């Protein structure tokens, strides 16, 4: 018998993400990080600011030298660079050319040859044309901003090897930067900030796909320190969509 009260969690995700993107003056992805200078500032702080999270993620992934890893939403190489240092062969996907340029520059400085970059949105890529599956690990670390999350997850599952695994990192509650947006956005822009969908939607979408995810909860206890007020302004102004 059809369950008339079943919730379509993919639609819940779509609606919450659409509301998030309707936030006045809100920017993300290539709109924010396509600029090389903004990407450079992010990259300069990335590994230091996220050191504990990176260590946890590398432990979770458990890669061996030669493993093939697909990093979706790679940014400037927050995970791709340490994965390559561990001997993995990494394909880094990101929509922001500024971020990928920073990643390539860092890889060149370190002599890391095991990283390939692909510019584009995950949901718009053709795996047969743009990628080289299968992969031993697929990771999407705080990059799940695809409107049709069900299709995006199915595409990830399709490119991982039978013995491989998909690793998703997402939020159960508002992370520190969203808490800041919620507190200040309306004062700055005259309209409230609408937060992104969270892990409750994600888990239920996976459950509806017949995927029973292993869930591990970790605190996000990250602090960002600045040497000067100017450094803090440079960090927050683009994220808050304000000019100085």
- What pLDDT was estimated at residue 234? 85
Q: Are 20 and 194 in contact (CB under 8 A)?
A: yes
At residue 2, does pLDDT exceed 80?
Answer: no
Nearest to 213 by CA among 157, 163, 148, 134: 157
pLDDT tens digits, 20-44: 999 999 988 777 777 777 788 777 7
What the chain holds in terms of domains, given with CATH numbers, is 9-239 (3.40.50.150)
The b-or-e profile of 201-213 (16+ CB within 10 A means b, else e) is bbbbbbeeeeeee
- CA pair distance 11, 19, nearest whole angstrom: 12
Answer yes or no: is pLDDT of 3 > 80.
no
> Mean pLDDT over residues 203-209, rounded?
97
pLDDT tens by residue, 86-134: 999 999 999 999 999 999 999 999 999 999 999 999 999 999 999 999 9
pLDDT of residue 130: 98
pLDDT value of position 4? 65
The Cβ of residue 179 has, within 10 Å, a number of other Cβ atoms equal to 13
pLDDT of residue 20: 97
Q: What pLDDT, on the 0 to 100 scale, is given for residue 1?
A: 52
Q: What is the pLDDT of residue 227?
A: 86
The pLDDT of residue 111: 98
């Amino acid at each position: 018998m059809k369950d008339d009260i079943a919730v379509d969690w993919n639609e819940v995700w779509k609606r919450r993400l659409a509301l998030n993107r309707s936030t006045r003056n809100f920017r993300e992805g290539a709109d924010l990080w396509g600029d090389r200078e903004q990407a450079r500032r992010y990259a300069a702080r990335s590994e230091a600011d996220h050191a504990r999270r990176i260590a946890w993620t590398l432990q979770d992934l458990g890669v061996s030298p030669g493993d093939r890893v697909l990093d979706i939403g790679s940014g400037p190489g927050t995970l791709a660079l340490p994965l390559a240092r561990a001997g993995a062969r990494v394909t880094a996907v990101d929509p922001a050319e500024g971020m990928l340029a920073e990643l390539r520059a860092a890889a060149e400085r370190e002599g890391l040859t095991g990283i390939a970059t692909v510019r584009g949105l995950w949901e718009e890529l053709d795996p047969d044309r743009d990628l080289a599956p299968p992969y031993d690990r697929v990771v999407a670390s705080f990059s799940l901003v695809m409107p049709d999350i069900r299709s995006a997850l199915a595409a990830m599952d399709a490119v991982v090897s039978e013995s491989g695994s998909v690793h998703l990192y997402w939020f159960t509650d508002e992370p520190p930067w969203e808490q800041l947006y919620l507190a200040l956005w309306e004062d700055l822009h005259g309209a409230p900030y609408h937060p992104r969908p969270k892990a409750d939607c994600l888990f239920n979408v996976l459950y509806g796909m017949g995927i029973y995810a292993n869930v591990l909860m970790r605190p996000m206890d990250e602090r960002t320190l600045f040497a000067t007020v100017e450094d803090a302004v440079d960090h927050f102004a683009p994220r808050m969509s304000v000019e100085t």
